[in-house]
Structure 1
Amino acid sequence: MKKKDLLRGIPKVDEVIKQDALFFLLEEKGCVAVTEASRAVLDKLRQEIMALKDEDADSFDMSKLDICRIAEDVADRVKEDEKCNLFPIINATGTILHTNLGRAPLCKEAVENVVEVSRGYSSLEYNVEKGKRGSRHDLVGELIAELTGAEDAMVVNNNASATLIVLATLGKGKEIVVSRGELVEIGGAFRIPDIMVQSGAYLQEVGTSNKTKPSDYENAIITKEQEKELASKESYRGTKRFETGALMKVHKSNYDIVGFTEEASLEDLVKIGKKHNLPVIFDMGNGLMLDLEEYGVREPNIPKSLAAGIDIILFSGDKLLGGPQAGIIAGKKEYIEKMKKHPLARVIRVDKMCFAALEATLMKYRDEKIALRDIPVLNMISSSKEEMKSKAERLAEEIRTANSNLNIELVEVEDQIGGGSAPSVRLPSWAVAVEDSKMSAQGIEIMLRRADIPIVARIHEDRLLLCVRTIAESEFKDIANAFRTGNC
């Protein structure tokens, strides 16, 4: 037997797709998908044969040339090609808002509402009562105002977009005064100064990295008259100055400055803003709606921040709010209305699925107890260490039942919120440590990532840890199946 004989034994594409095993697949997936899969399988087989040495041709597995087996391989290939690149993953890292894993999981009602609204047509921009065109800005504006105390609100596709449209509306051609200690990078190399450049506003830094006083903001304010006076002059830095458009505070949600520090409060900025008739913007970022200090989260929340008298607050929907990715802007109606009419508003608007998930999530906040119970992010944050130990015991038992050869132990851990929120907060918790005498921790980690539903875990001190805070009870059986005897 020579290689050329093996190559002659490869069937043609049209012969493969006529096989009975592919009949229903052709009906379901179409001729193009099955034909392309057939070509791919046959090409792979051809390359395998071409890679053989002549003396190895006799030892080739001839069953690989069986047309029925090839048809089965084609069916498997079609199914593999049909897999989406975005799929569920089990988060066993203990990081609640894991950005790489999609941040906040949605509550049950949000998921149901997305399915209900997206399966057909919807009232996205249609006023049913009046029988004419409506505005998507009206869908959740009143609900956000009710929950936060704002006059009005609008929703865009993320908080970076919210920052962009706020600055473009209130600060284009003007200076925005910001503390040097708050010129944050929000992830992916997106920085506040860069967003400001794109908006057409000019950054006016004040204070130092660790200390910024209220007087620093006030001393930086330039009126229209002063701008004209300075038009022919240069500042001590050799740069042109412009009229001040707003005062801006950025919450340091993804880092912390400790030690010899000072910063101006929202109340300080509101007082200065009123004195000089300037709007005060608070880029909050994390989207915390409730007071979670009881659970160790000492972060500003939206209602209290607005109560301080600020004009505009902006925050994310998929962080501590626990909803879909969105940028939410709330505050004074006069400013929100201008943003709704800005050309950028259409560029960064959100779709019906985002509104469906966001509205269902926000509804939960009408009762704090229900929000803590039903919104996964809040439920995870508020769960006690004792509850986590009990949960870890249940998961450990599931794994032991699946594979008695593993060394299972409960260990104390500290979970984190993640997602650029509350960086210094650590949540005391428990994890299930798994060891296998036949496999390293790295080997187990790889095995779990290759499970039917991939599991992302932690490795600490050469042991694999399954942090239960971020694992749903409904996922226990999937984890146990991944450890079942025969898999490891």
Structure 2
Amino acid sequence: MSGTSGRPPSVDALARSISDSGLPHPILVEIARAAITDGATDHDVVAARAEEYRRSLLTPVVNATGVLLHTNLGRAPLGHSQPARAQTVEFDLATGERGSRQRAVGRLVARLTGAESAIVVNNNAAAVLLVVAALASGRDVAVSRGESVEIGGAFRVPEVMEQSGARLVDVGTTNRTRLADYERAIVRPGNDVALLMKIHPSNFRVEGFVEETTVAELATLERPVVADIGSGLLDSTVPWLKGPPPAWLAGEPAAVQVLADGADLVTFSGDKLLGGPQAGIIAGRADLVEQCARHPLARALRCGGLVLAALQDVALAYLDKRAATDIAFWRMVDQPVDALRARAELIVTDAGTGSVIDTLALPGAGSAPGVTMPSIGVAIDGDRLTGLRGHTTPVIARTRDGRTVLDLRSVDPGDDAIVADALRALDP
């Protein structure tokens, strides 16, 4: 499309010519105005810009990377819906008065973990920050040097301590920390240790000449023990799955066991191994949880009704023993390799391209670092990532050894037809 007599088209006319993009008219006007400024008013070029804008918005995709909790793809996939009605976020139906937004979900999480009490904030970094600010501001927190880490996204333990107003006391060495190291930190002149904090490294593992102090050992000292387990495994026995716990979970700390070992508080994420929405959970001794809930930061870090409702659904699924079927992450974990292979063979037949291969999937998002689980994928020659991302419903895969691999453990079976369509649509 071009203007008459060498003139560019009007902004409104150019915007209306790409209205089939589905974008709101004000956005189309913005795209049209920029195109005119750039002298790029050909309809196909402007339509391509509109499509590029549309695809820059949050978009549902098929995760075929084999990373079950893919940080860039939102971690735990979660389906949640609720009616467009008011809900009792801070309203007590029994009294008709204002209630606590933490009560409903907090009671459920406490029941799941064996804690006296629990509250929810917007992510696990916020949970750690709130705990330290509420319980140790102006005082010292003892942390093993091997656990004073950067988890990701510039979340560094020393900087969190600084922002909370607490002082970090390094204990032991990077590879070996003993109970006596914590004892010395407590009695050392000039120290005022308020908390002993044990932090699960999450995204790396130290091996070789190593030693660490357990939560049970720390619980023998006369200071509250806070354990940040990060990934949010509720119970190491995974009673919601049939059979023994998956081998890849060996060594992953779990809330039930950490609290049973004597931790006074445990903090963890809602959107990793728990399989819920992004949230941070603080569970443990009622008096300490209450101190956190009363701190001014608690209001700034609190969750809204959508997150609380979604987390409530997840908690009820665990309590009803429906987690293996109702929580997407555990459905992915629980798929037998033979079932994955059968799905892959059908996809290859339907698409008319590709081959079935053995793969290794990852939990992802810093959960169970360094471990894998057997899986099955579909492989095609060459790097076809761009073409798969360009499908109507984008398919996100990975490349390996000169081939593009689509791992089916991270793909919901209901999306197999999308995967087949995306493969079939690739240029020869």
Question: What TM-score, normalized by structure 1, do the two folds share?
Answer: 0.79
Correspondence 1:375 to 2:334: no
2:257 maps to what in 1? Answer: 304
1:390 aligns with 2:330: no
Q: Hey, what does 1:7 align to over in structure 2? A: 6
1:247 corresponds in structure 2 to 196
Q: Are the equivalent residues in 2 in contact too, given 1:173–1:242 (CA < 8 A)?
A: no
Q: Which residue of 1 aligns with 2:231?
A: 286
Output the amino acid matched with 2:422. Answer: A
Question: Does the aligned pair in 2 maintain the 1:246–1:280 contact within 8 Å?
Answer: yes
Q: Using a 3 Å threshold, how does the CA distance of structure 1 residues 327 and 35 change in structure 2: closer, same or farther?
A: closer
C-alpha displacement of 1:78:
6.6
Identity of aligned residues (%): 39
Match of 1:193 among 143, 158, 167: 158
SS at match of 1:313: strand
Partners of 1:80 and 1:461 lie apart in 2 by: 30
**CA deviation after TM superposition for structure 1 residue 305, in Å:** 1.1
Provide, for residues 262-316 of structure 1, a one-character-per-residue CA deviation record: whole Å limited to 9, x for no partner: 11111101111xxx2x111101101001325631111121111111121100000
The residue type equivalent to 2:367 in the other structure is S
Q: Distance in 2 between matches of 1:122 and 1:216?
A: 50
Inter-partner Cα distance in structure 2 for 1:462 and 1:269: 49
Do residues 426 (structure 1) and 372 (structure 2) align? yes
Q: Secondary structure at 1:413's aligned position in 2?
A: strand
Is the Cα–Cα contact under 8 Å of residues 142 and 169 in structure 2 kept in the other structure?
Answer: yes
Q: Indicate the SS of the match to 1:170.
A: helix
Distance in structure 2 (CA, Å) of the matches to 1:285 and 1:100: 18
2:360–2:372 CA contact under 8 A, matched in 1:
yes
- Choose the corresponding residue for 1:409, options 329, 350, 355: 355
* Residue matched to 1:101: 73
Q: Within 5 A, what are the aligned runs for 1:142-181?
A: 142-181=107-146
> Which residue identity does 1:469 align to in structure 2?
R
The structural deviation recorded for 1:133 is 1.2
| Runs of at least 5 residues in structure 1 that lack an aligned partner in the other structure | 49-63, 65-69, 231-240, 401-405, 436-440
Report the alpha carbon displacement of residue 388 of structure 1 after superposing the two structures with TM: 2.1
Question: What residue number does 1:450 align with?
Answer: 390
SS in 1 for 2:257: helix
User: How far has the Cα of 1:94 moved from its partner?
Assistant: 0.4
Provide the aligned length of Structure 1 versus Structure 2.
418
Partners in 2 of 1:15 and 1:409 — Cα distance? 49
Q: Is the 8 A contact 1:34 1:74 kept in 2?
A: no
What pairs with 1:33-44 in structure 2 (closer than 5 Å)? 35-36=29-30, 38-40=32-34, 42-43=36-37
Any conservation in 2 of the 1:398–1:476 contact (CA below 8 Å)?
Answer: no
Report deviation, 1:424. 2.4
SS of structure 2 residue aligned to 1:259 = coil
Where do 5+ consecutive residues of structure 2 fail to align?
Answer: 239-243
Q: Contact 2:40–2:46 (CA<8 Å) still a contact in 1?
A: no
> How far has the Cα of 1:397 moved from its partner?
2.4
Secondary structure of 1:329's match?
A: strand
Indicate the residue corresponding to 2:241 in structure 1.
none
Per the alignment, residue 54 of structure 1 pairs with: none
Computing the radius of gyration over CA atoms, which structure comes out larger, 1 or 2?
1
Across the aligned residues of Structure 1 and Structure 2, the Cα RMSD in angstroms comes to: 2.8
Quick check: 2:343–2:416 contact (8 Å CA) kept in 1? no
Q: CA deviation at 1:36?
A: 4.3
Cα offsets for 1:309-341 (capped at 9, x unmatched): 211000000010000111000000101111111
1:460 aligns with 2:405: no
Aligned equivalents of 2:246, 2:269: Cα separation in 1 = 21
SS at match of 2:219: helix
Distance 1:15 1:217, change over 3 A: closer
- Secondary structure, aligned partner of 1:161: helix
Instruction: Give the partner amino acid of 2:161.
Output: M
Runs of 4+ in structure 1 displaced over 3 angstroms? 3-6, 10-17, 32-44, 72-84, 485-488
- Contact 1:156/1:326 (CA < 8 Å) preserved in 2? yes
Corresponding residue of 2:183: 218
Q: Identify the structure with the greater helix proportion.
A: 1
Q: Distance in 2 between matches of 1:304 and 1:191?
A: 26
Q: For the structure 1 residues 371 and 486, does the alpha-carbon distance in structure 2 shift closer, same or farther, using more than 3 Å as the test? A: closer
TM-score (norm 2): 0.89
